[in-house]
Amino acid sequence: MKRKVLILVSLIYVLSLFVGFSDEVSSVYYVAGDIHFPPYEYLDEDGLYKGFNVDLLKAIGLVMGMEFVFLPMPWEDAFHAIDRGQADIIQGMKVSETRKHKFHFTDSLLFNSQSIFVKNESYTISTNSDLVGKRVSVLKEDIVYYDLAKIKDIEILEYDTVFKATEALLSGNVDAMVANTLSVNYICNDKGWSDEVKIVGQTLNEQKYALAVSKENAQLLNQLNEGLKEVHRSGLYDTLHRKWFGTPIKHINDGQKALTQVFLIFALVLFAIVKSWGSVPLTRL
């Protein structure tokens, strides 16, 4: 019996060290987030709220002794949750000058961007200008629609989800897709499609992505930033990033494209030289 009590006391002591670095009782904060934005944050088939943002906040809570209650909801409701007194934190938002008047933003969680995706065997598209006369899939209501609509003779096909837009690319229904870089990366890793698509050209619409708090809550902002730095230092951030976004899809940028073209030209010249040698009749010595 004494041995069991000793083990129990030891476990409680170890747990008290693990819960946080503070001697104070954990503070509880309410966190609003998008209900359907994988792999950042989403409800899965079992009703569990998960994603990169969720895991990252749990890690911050662990190192800072903070407790978070997650409130998944449609994005338009999450955006107003702080104003309505429903939440202390919005767990993922693109940073803009306009939004800076409304919120305090933490240090960047990552950079959100969009990219041009094509099938791996495609070599005719490498920039926006190459989309002229092409069929392109995008997410419905995506802001990139208005940028693409300026391109001459482009045919834009809108889909309800990024997953469906990716399927359209792989099935050959479109020539290219423009979508959130990390979302497509997650889908392709999850479905085993990473070797079938590639990113071409430059990153589009790159913006910082951060946690948002009220302008009146500078103390909470400082706590979150301190926790984020600790998660980075521990290496846990890199682990979570790999877990949710996996191995990056191959990116063929302009420099790589130029090197490829030079190599192909060199190979063609070499082939022509070798072929010309073969056509010269051999003379008996």
1.20.910.10, 3.40.190.10, 2.60.260.20, 3.30.70.260: which CATH number matches 22-111+208-244? 3.40.190.10
Structural domain spans, the chain: 22-111+208-244, 112-206+248-256
Q: What does the angle CA 75 – CA 242 – CA 195 come to, to the nearest 5 degrees?
A: 95
22-111+208-244 with 112-206+248-256: one CATH topology?
A: yes
Please say whether the beta carbons of 144 and 125 come within 8 A: no
Tens of pLDDT, residue by residue over 144-177, are 888 899 998 999 999 878 889 999 999 999 999 9
Mean pLDDT of 236-255: 76
How many C-beta neighbours within 10 Å does residue 69 have?
10
Q: Which residues contact residue 236 at a Cβ distance below 8 angstroms, ignoring those fewer than 6 apart?
A: 59
Please say whether the beta carbons of 88 and 214 come within 8 A: yes
State pTM to two decimals.
0.63
Tens of pLDDT, residue by residue over 179-193, are 989 889 888 988 899
Q: Which fold has domain 112-206+248-256?
A: D-Maltodextrin-Binding Protein; domain 2 (3.40.190)
Rg, C-alpha atoms of the chain: 26
DSSP symbols for 160-194: SSHHHHHHHHHTTSSSEEEEEHHHHHHHHHHHT-T
Half-sphere CA count of 95, side-chain side, radius 13 A: 17
Residue given tokens 């950079």 in the structure block: 111
